[in-house]
Structure 1
Amino acid sequence: LVRENSTSSLISPGFRFDYELLQAERNRIRNNLLNNGFYGFAREYIYYLTDTLNKPYQADLTLGIKNPRDASADRNMPDFHPRFRIGEIRIVPDYDPVEYLSNPSGYLSEADSLDYEGVRILYRDELNYRPGLLHSSLLFAPGSLYSQEKVDQTLAAFSSLRNFKQIKFDFIQEGNRLDSIQNIDCLILLSPMTKQSYDLSLEGTYSSGNIGVAGNLIYKHKNLFRGAENFELRFKGAVEFLADAVEDFNRMVEFGIESRLETPRSWIPFTREKPGSHSRPHSGLNLSYNYQRRPDFTRTIANASFGYNWKLPLTRHQLSVLEINYVNVSEMSDRFRNLIQGTYVENSFRSHLVPAVNYTFTFSDQEISRDQSFFYLKLRPEFAGNLFYGIRSAGNQEMPEGGYQLFNTPVSQYTMGEIDLRYHWVLNQSNKLAFRLFTGVGYPYGNSDALPFEKKYFSGGATGIRAWQVRSLGPGSYQLPEDQKRLYPNQLGDIKLEFNLEYRFDLFWILKGALFLDAGNIWAISGSDDRPGALFEWNNFYHQVAVGTGLGIRADLSFFIGRLDLGIKLRDPGAEDGPIWIPGNRRFQIRDFVLNFGIGYPF
């Protein structure tokens, strides 16, 4: 088998003698043998002999493989490497490590059993998982040659069910050890997670004299219908009292409910999951309702979405087959209505319906268990309202003012696209460099004059350009008047461009430091936007790029990372005298410094 596969060798005559390359060739041969029936084969069986006698700057290289007897002190070991076929497969889906270790033989012999398509399932009291679900996670079968690759893929398939905290494979050799082909039985031990759980969280906020409190209650069930269905029900509420409210209603109130059901199988009719589909799609259904009341407006948001996600070794795919978002603006204060009346932003504060479809592609070669450099790419296109617009316009019906409606509600039509590119460079164990480039564009057309409010981009904040508070930058060189900043978040746009560079280093104990540089902005895409300096123009946008720097400190508790970042403005595109570099033009002021608190790294 080694000779048959020699065409894939990493070593050839004339190559530079290199220790790392020799080790890589040993690993290649070992992996090839492990995936072709040679269970337990170790790279230590592979050795090299080099001959440099009378060969200046050259060496003859001989590769050899020891037999088990020569590599062991046990003289009863065979003088050849046997191949192994899979014998009996047993699965224990309710494995209890403590009970099993105290009495392994009794634990299995006392269990009830069920045979399903050549696989024996052992359980105690009650079988909590459907046999077909367990069988569909296997990528090898009785009678097949042992393959380490298939074992690893089976482990990944069981792990993707998100139901087991421990997954263990035990292989037991059966028969005569001197046979050239032997059977090896497989015992798969699955220790389930807690089936049901509750989580309650409360938090308080204080900002510029505004006091608020928020809470979340989450219920989770990891195996709702015995098919590893993950169900989550979330209740959330928040209230914030405004110190400088200009309306009679002096607080912001929000509450909502959200449910999610995800199953490890396709919901497409007349399809059947093939056994061993380790990249099988997960189907997801989401329903949510959210109520928001503010001094300037009251609105409710209802959302329903259905889609699939599936994961491959380096990529992840998420397809939202249909997402329906309904936004109803039921009340609006006279002051707020007069402020936005006749402006471009007025279109974003109307009741609307968004029927959308989107797809997200994510690539990452990060290995969680290893601290090494990695690359990350995320692409996300989204389309909304096209089918509805096509059906209505096909009847040659003249489009009414304000666009076609469904149930007396305007239907949004737009297209969006986003690119998120990141590279994390590990300089050494204590120093890292992180890079991120994000660009997103949303374009309304047909039935819509503006993007929906909830689809628009904003900049600033703990995960954006940290020298500006969230939603306080842009669009372009536009500067929101001081008397309007507390009334509504007008600083939204249709285009977003952002660049981030961060140098991360260890300090002491659990503390880590960071130096960062952020640049970017948001822009409007429609010429009807009447905000001065907001429109994106190819010959001018680079003059409107905001630049900030700063330093941060992080507390890394492994399971939790708390982050404080102090952002400092360097270039302000919204300055009164036009975009300026602050150093060299004026003194730094308090407003040029922004303190951000965040959970986790910004990117």
Structure 2
Amino acid sequence: MHFMVKRSFIGFFSLFTAMILLYSCSEQKRTWVRNYPKNTPFVYNNQISLHGNFTKDEKKRLLSDLQNYWDDSLKVPKQQQFGLFYKIKNPAVFDSVNIGRSALFMNSYLNAQGYYYSILTNRYTIDTVKDQIRTSVFMDIDAGKNITIDQVTYEMNDSTLQQLAVAESEKSFLKKSKPYSKQVISNELDRMVGLYRKNGYYKITREDVYAYVDSNNTKLFALTIDPFEQAKLLSEVAKAKKENPNWDIAIRQREVEDSSRLFKYHIGNLYYYPETKITDVPDSLMTDKSFLEKKSESTFMRYKKGLFNFRPLKEDTYFKKGDVYNEEKYFKTANALGQLSAWQNIDIRPEIRNRDTLDMYFFMTPAVKQSFTVDLEASRNIADIGVTNLLGITTNLSYNNRNVWKNAIQSIATFRTGVELNILSSSNEADQLLQTFLINIGHTYIFPGIIQPFKRWKGLDKIDNRRTLWSINGGYVDRRNFYRVRNLTTSFGYEWKQGNNSFLYKPINVELYSIDKLDSLDQLIIKNPFLKASFNEGSIVSQSLSFVRTTNGSRNPNKNKFYRLAIEEAGGLFGFIPGLQGNIYRYLKVETEYKQSVKFAKSELAYRAFAGIGYNYGGDTIIGPTLPFYKQFSAGGPNSMRAWRLRQLGLGSSNQSETDTASNAFRDRFGDMQLEFNMEYRFQLATIGSFKIGSALYADIGNVWNIKRAASTDSDTRFSLNSFTRDMAIGIGTGLRFDMSYFLIRLDFAYKLKDPLRTANNGWMSIRDFTWNDIRPNGIKVPNFALQLGIGLPF
């Protein structure tokens, strides 16, 4: 058996070595050509060499963009195959004339990026391989120095526009000594138009402003009749342009032919059409006199069936009659109304009335009011108590009403019931076949806007997508012969967005639990005392706040960042009530997560860092010193520490979960602290139409610990800096990703590079004594690898 394992490893290592050797070969040696013109030069390769004073990221960006400016007949239709090889199919016939056109395209692009002194040199080589005449085209580019911005001025003919421009000049994209590019100029012109349209100038567009760029040096305007002095000035200017080129930029206003373009517009009447059909023509609706009409001040709702009330419409409208027209509030209103599930389409049309008034017409197409779904799920559980072959069958029913009480309130009712069957039980008795029965009923209401219990809060108009959430859920689980659990949970909270930031605050969260321990569970706890903490009975009265921020890189748009912070506090006030002591948990839990991904032409590098800690400060001897297990952290599975099975890592370097448990049946590990870091390099293997096959190389590092020592547990379960390196687990692996556009199936294989519970070699794997399984001191065989099946990317 040991010989077979070693032979498997030798085969695996040989295959891995062969792949490394292949990858170390040049890309050209791993490329083959199909459907090429025989005995005729064709484009086999193109390459750009870029020189200049760039940052690393700037050079990557320029090189990536320049590849798009080869003439079409010089582009190479190269496809990656199986991650190592490349295929060129139907290459173009080579024509040297196209090199000059490519140089023109590339030079124009560099000019747009502010490189006006670039020198482009091209050449090509021809290699003959059998009947293939392969042509490689090379473009060598010396970009020169990037033009920088010197002085920035605003020269508007209208005094009010000039005052606005100067007042907001600190927000300009044009900064002295910063690199010049046409994109920066375009961004600044867009900012100026947005500034004016935010301040009532509804008719101003990009056609009304332009950028005047002055590349001349003021020394040239100095009056001199001395030809030698003039020649000296010209020489100095030419030298300065080459060594430190900079330009002056003036943002100017074009001459206005239509004076109404400079009118400041105000909001007039608001007309809502909340029952618009998708086939209706807005112009016809505006003149239709058959509508019924409700009026509230200067706001009108025109309808025929009366399906909606005024409140949700006014709640998410950020302007009113008399306000100066503000384009930001216009789009904010359209987005807020579009987020309401009661409507599937929102169209807001401004119409000019009189000299400077904008009436706003809202055409809103309702979504299907009610929907009902039924799902059937099946799963297999191999980590439950006392049995190892459970088949779970669950039915989920969901009812969704998107317009409760005509106020665009969304109501979601759910019902879930299921059983777990011991399909390989040696007994045919019914009580042995049926292992678990569960039932759960829930109801959630999503209210538009923020429901305020007291006086109106300030600043609500500055936030977006405002929602109030209330939910209640009840559940019952009967684990035959072991326990019965009843729970009732309810929460009330607020959800909103502000820019790239999302917030969720729950001031009230109540979770009530009741556990009936049956004879089989009592016997199991007697044999395994450390399991007692997992079945402590207590309830939760808490509040929580979560914050999520997602951004794209300002310098590199292919870099995405995600940050999350969540805080939950339980029992802070209610824990002082004598009647509740010993019945509710008192703890503080904090978790933070950071994710980043950088996309390249054919690959992606992603990493994730996670840290979580929960501290039970109640000191209650009845409930115990740890968090309730359903609030604790766990590691392992398809999305966390993939070399370990679900919830099978930890705690620390303690092997108590494996040595003390009867028949090794209950091995789920939960802790009060978790640290984890994941890194993954993703790349594409093959593409078949819209179906993509990819792969990844990854590493996972982390573990789970307790902060306090629970009863009947050893000290190795606690976090300690002295044992931090010993406790850290490391897994490495690879996998396949099958991307079908609308969803992704992931198959990952991972090996335990370092296992804290491995007694030999300080937990590290050994090449010399490689094995697929580790034999623990008590004789239990634990796999050193895991095969994970997941849906979607792990992070």
Q: With structure 1 as the length reference, what TM-score do the two structures score?
A: 0.86
Percent of aligned positions that are identical:
24
Which residue does 1:505 correspond to in 2? 683
Judged with a 3 Å threshold, the aligned counterparts in structure 2 of structure 1 residues 114 and 229 are, in CA distance, closer, same or farther, namely same
Q: Does 1:373 align with 2:559?
A: yes
Shift in Å at residue 273 of structure 1?
7.7
- Map 1:425-504 onto structure 2 (within 5 A): 425-428=598-601, 430-444=602-616, 445-447=618-620, 448-449=623-624, 450-479=626-655, 480-481=657-658, 484=662, 487-504=665-682
State how far apart, in whole Å, the 2-side matches of 1:211 and 1:125 are. 50
Q: Does 1:213 align with 2:405?
A: no
Which residue does 2:719 correspond to in 1? 536
- Answer with 484-493 or 181-190: which moved more: 484-493
Whether the aligned pair in 1 keeps the contact of 2:489 and 2:511 (CA below 8 Å) is yes
State how far apart, in whole Å, the 1-side matches of 2:349 and 2:337 are. 15
Which residue does 1:396 correspond to in 2? none
Q: Does 1:418 align with 2:610?
A: no
State how far apart, in whole Å, the 2-side matches of 1:427 and 1:495 are. 35
Task: Pick the aligned partner of 2:753 from 562, 565, 570.
Answer: 570
State how far apart, in whole Å, the 2-side matches of 1:162 and 1:387 are. 37
Task: Pick the aligned partner of 1:42 from 201, 205, 215.
Answer: 205
Judged with a 3 Å threshold, the aligned counterparts in structure 2 of structure 1 residues 82 and 506 are, in CA distance, closer, same or farther, namely farther
Judged with a 3 Å threshold, the aligned counterparts in structure 2 of structure 1 residues 289 and 582 are, in CA distance, closer, same or farther, namely same
Which residue does 2:184 correspond to in 1? 21
Judged with a 3 Å threshold, the aligned counterparts in structure 2 of structure 1 residues 404 and 142 are, in CA distance, closer, same or farther, namely closer
Which residue does 1:63 correspond to in 2? 251
Which residue does 2:51 correspond to in 1? none
Whether the aligned pair in 1 keeps the contact of 2:658 and 2:667 (CA below 8 Å) is no
* Helix, strand or coil at the partner of 1:552: strand
Whether the aligned pair in 1 keeps the contact of 2:422 and 2:432 (CA below 8 Å) is no
Shift in Å at residue 422 of structure 1?
1.7
State how far apart, in whole Å, the 1-side matches of 2:260 and 2:299 are. 33
Which residue does 1:172 correspond to in 2? 351
What is the CA deviation profile of residues 111-157 of structure 1, one whole-angstrom value per residue up to 9, with x for unaligned ones? 2222212111111222x222132122221223332211111111232
Task: Pick the aligned partner of 1:225 from 388, 400, 405.
Answer: 405
What is the CA deviation profile of residues 330-377 of structure 1, one whole-angstrom value per residue up to 9, with x for unaligned ones? 13343653445673431331322222222212222369xx97433222
Which residue does 1:307 correspond to in 2? 493
Shift in Å at residue 200 of structure 1?
1.0
Which residue does 1:283 correspond to in 2? 468
What is the CA deviation profile of residues 286-342 of structure 1, one whole-angstrom value per residue up to 9, with x for unaligned ones? 211222233533322221222222222222222222222122221334365344567
Whether the aligned pair in 2 keeps the contact of 1:138 and 1:276 (CA below 8 Å) is no
Whether the aligned pair in 1 keeps the contact of 2:348 and 2:363 (CA below 8 Å) is yes
Which residue does 2:162 correspond to in 1? 3
User: Which AA in structure 2 matches 1:418?
Assistant: E
Q: Does 1:88 align with 2:266?
A: no
What is the CA deviation profile of residues 131-189 of structure 1, one whole-angstrom value per residue up to 9, with x for unaligned ones? 132122221223332211111111232134332221112122344xxxxx533322111
* Helix, strand or coil at the partner of 1:346: helix
What RMSD over aligned residues (CA atoms) do the two structures have, in Å? 3.1
What is the CA deviation profile of residues 213-271 of structure 1, one whole-angstrom value per residue up to 9, with x for unaligned ones? 22211111112122221111111123222356699645233221111112124444344
Task: Pick the aligned partner of 1:31 from 194, 201, 204.
Answer: 194
Q: Does 1:597 align with 2:789?
A: yes
Which residue does 2:76 correspond to in 1? none
What is the CA deviation profile of residues 418-446 of structure 1, one whole-angstrom value per residue up to 9, with x for unaligned ones? 11222232334x43222211111122233
Structure 1: which 5+ runs fail to align?
A: 70-76, 176-180, 394-402
Judged with a 3 Å threshold, the aligned counterparts in structure 2 of structure 1 residues 575 and 342 are, in CA distance, closer, same or farther, namely closer
* Helix, strand or coil at the partner of 1:99: coil
Whether the aligned pair in 1 keeps the contact of 2:613 and 2:673 (CA below 8 Å) is yes
- Map 1:234-383 onto structure 2 (within 5 A): 234-242=414-422, 249-250=432-433, 251-272=435-456, 278-279=463-464, 281-295=466-480, 296-334=482-520, 337-339=523-525, 343-365=529-551, 372-383=558-569
Shift in Å at residue 30 of structure 1?
1.5
User: Which AA in structure 2 matches 1:282?
Assistant: R
Shift in Å at residue 60 of structure 1?
4.4
What is the CA deviation profile of residues 447-476 of structure 1, one whole-angstrom value per residue up to 9, with x for unaligned ones? 242321211211101221111111111111
* Helix, strand or coil at the partner of 1:602: coil
State how far apart, in whole Å, the 2-side matches of 1:249 and 1:78 are. 87
Whether the aligned pair in 1 keeps the contact of 2:671 and 2:706 (CA below 8 Å) is yes
User: Which AA in structure 2 matches 1:289?
Assistant: G
Judged with a 3 Å threshold, the aligned counterparts in structure 2 of structure 1 residues 337 and 526 are, in CA distance, closer, same or farther, namely farther
Judged with a 3 Å threshold, the aligned counterparts in structure 2 of structure 1 residues 228 and 46 are, in CA distance, closer, same or farther, namely same
Task: Pick the aligned partner of 1:192 from 361, 366, 371.
Answer: 366
- Greater Rg over alpha carbons, structure: 2
Which residue does 1:521 correspond to in 2? 703
User: Which AA in structure 2 matches 1:599?
Assistant: I
User: Which AA in structure 1 matches 2:478?
Assistant: R
Size of the alignment, in residue pairs?
573
Q: With structure 2 as the length reference, what TM-score do the two structures score?
A: 0.66
Shift in Å at residue 522 of structure 1?
0.5
